[in-house]
Amino acid sequence: MRVLTSLLIACGAVAAPGVDDASHHGEIRAIEQRVLEHRTRIKSGIFTVQWTHKSLSQGVLESQVNRSVRIWVDGDSIRGDFARVYPQDSPRAGETFRETISVHSGVLRHYSDQQFPGGGRLATEILPLNGTHARTYTVPDPRLVGMSPSSFLNLIHASLHQWVGKASFAKDAVLSIEDFAGERAHRVSFTLPEGVTASLWFYDAKLSVACIDVSQFHIRERVESTYDTVDGYGWFPSKAVYRRWESKDLVTEDVTDIKVEQINQPIDPAVFDFPGMGLPEGTVISDRTREGSKDLVLTATGLKEWKDDLPERGLMPSDGRSRVTTLLVFNGVIFLVLALYFIFGRGRPSGGPT
């Protein structure tokens, strides 16, 4: 703690000119409130996100994963179209396939056009949001980029108020005015229980978070954001760089590039449901939101209950319900493994108060 305090003083983290100890908490609260109000103005949007996740050991690159996703958000509804790559041991190695995950009207919908040897596919499902299988399907909300020191995929654990809004309640919060990346910024530094220390830099003119730097014991995490203007809204991140250190060694670097297609313009609700996802007609869908599963089929006129006497068409499994059940089991196993790898990676972020 002594070392951290010395560092804060050396970096100029002292009370801002004209702000006494009794009143600076009010100014911190006002800064945080302006930033939160600006970001919460985003009610809907369409974003294309590309990110590169690097894992390092003693400064040496161990692995690198490149991913992209197109995301629709509208209130509590969110849909992500992930571009996945077939594994190296697949006959289609190097080719891409689409995986779509959507949360809308209180349920989760999942579809993948990945093909397995022999022509099989993962089952298309409707899942309860509180179900075990549903937890393996997640779409990070782009509205949270830059608001938490997290990799892009780990934003599923974040919230707008996770860090922004905490400093004004910290008794030891220190406010200063500094230059960050060539721009004027307010810096707020404070501590939290369990050995957590944090510093946040706010761009006044952009109503945005420039950087969040958090440490706890031997773990340090930091995210720095770059902003561009969006018509009809204002400043929004175009890039965020997240880094994680363990015992002063850089172990993770996550670079996220965001292209904004639109913000706060109308979005057709159909894009969050199967008919608006571009699924092939004849796709069999397992509805697991009730006791036992119910099989549906996508037709030209919408979803209908699938019965054994229906003719085979599109993606209809050749041997009926038993094939659907088999694919459901395989689906759960495969995506549980993928989720554990891509979401948790080398360990979840230190996070902080929620």
pLDDT tens digits for 7-18? Answer: 232 333 333 333
Is residue 142 very low, low, confident or very high in pLDDT (cuts 50, 70, 90)?
A: very high
Higher pLDDT, 263 or 315: 263
d(CA 291, CA 321): 17
The pLDDT value recorded for residue 101 is 95
**pLDDT for 252:** 96
CB–CB of 50/257 below 8 Å? yes
Q: Residue 119 has what pLDDT? A: 67
pLDDT digits (tens, 9 = 90+) for 264-289: 999 999 999 988 998 888 888 888 88
pLDDT value of position 324: 41
Does 258 score more than 60 pLDDT?
yes
**Lowest-pLDDT choice from 30-34, 57-61, 280-284, 322-326:** 322-326
**What are the Cα distances from residue 351, in Å, to 52, 56, 212, 255, 321?**
21, 21, 12, 18, 43
Q: Please state the rounded mean pLDDT for residues 63-87.
A: 93
The band of 329, judged by pLDDT with boundaries at 50, 70 and 90, is: very low
Q: What is the mean pLDDT of residues 63-75?
A: 95
pLDDT at 350: 38
- Enumerate the H helices of the chain as residue ranges: 2-10, 24-40, 321-339
3-class secondary-structure state, position 283: coil
More confident residue, 154 or 334: 154
pLDDT for residue 24: 78
**Mean of per-residue pLDDT scores for the chain:** 81
For 19-39, the pLDDT digits (tens) are 445 457 889 999 999 999 999
- Pairing type for strands 107-112 and 124-128 reads antiparallel
* Tens digit of each residue's pLDDT (9 = 90 or more) over 81-129: 999 888 777 777 778 889 999 999 989 999 988 877 766 677 788 988 8
User: Of 192 and 242, which is predicted with more confidence?
Assistant: 242
pLDDT at site 290: 77
pLDDT reported for residue 308: 56
pLDDT score of 3 more than 60:
no
Per residue in 235-255, pLDDT (tens digit) is 999 999 999 999 999 999 999
- The answer to whether 36 and 160 are in contact (CB under 8 A) is yes
Going from the C-alpha of 49 to that of each of 53, 90, 228, 250, the distances in angstroms are 13, 26, 15, 24
Averaged pLDDT, 295-305? 83
Write phi, then psi, for 327 (nearest 5 degrees).
-65, -35
Distance from chain centroid for Cα 84: 16
* Residue labelled with tokens 């050995």: 195
